[in-house]
Amino acid sequence: MANTTKKDIVKTIAEQIDLPQLRTKELVQKTFDALIEALVREGRLELRNFGVFQIKRREARMARNPRTGERVPVAAKSVVTFKPGKEMEARVRQLDQTPAPPPGAAPPAAPSGQGG
C-alpha cells in the first residue's frame, strides 16, 4: 500500500472542484497552516466527524537505549495527540468487515460519480 501524499490530495481535490492544481495546492497549504496555527494557539483543535488534535505535555523520564541497554534521560516535551471522530472510526472499522484481497491483486476501483 503506497502512502498518500499532499500532492495526491491536491490532485484529487483539483479534479473534484475543477481548479488548477497550483491554486488547489495553495488552498490546501493555507488550510494546513490555519489548522496548525489554531492548534498551537489553543492547544486543542476539534474537527467534527474527523477528530480531535490536542497538545499534551510529556514529562521527563528515563528510557533505555535498545542497542546498548544503557539508561538515558529523555527531556520533557510537548507532543500532538489525535483521537479520531466517530465517522472516521466507523469508516476504518468497515475495513475489518471486508475480506482482504489476495496478495498481488489490484486494489478495488474508486466509485465513479463522486462530485460536489
How far are the Cα atoms of 11, 21, 22, 32, 112 from residue 16, in angstroms, in the given order? Answer: 9, 11, 14, 19, 11
What would the pLDDT profile of 41-97 be if each residue is shown by its tens digit? 999 999 998 999 999 999 999 999 999 999 999 999 999 999 999 999 999 999 998
State the fold for domain 44-95: HU Protein; Chain A (4.10.520)
Residue ranges per domain, the chain?
1-42, 44-95
Strand partners, 51: 47, 84
Q: To 5 degrees, how large is the angle CA 49–CA 40–CA 24?
A: 60
Model confidence band, residue 106 (pLDDT cutoffs 50, 70, 90): low
- Residue 41 and residue 78: Cα distance in Å, rounded? 13
Q: Per-residue pLDDT tens for 25-48?
A: 999 999 999 999 999 999 999 999
pTM of the model: 0.70
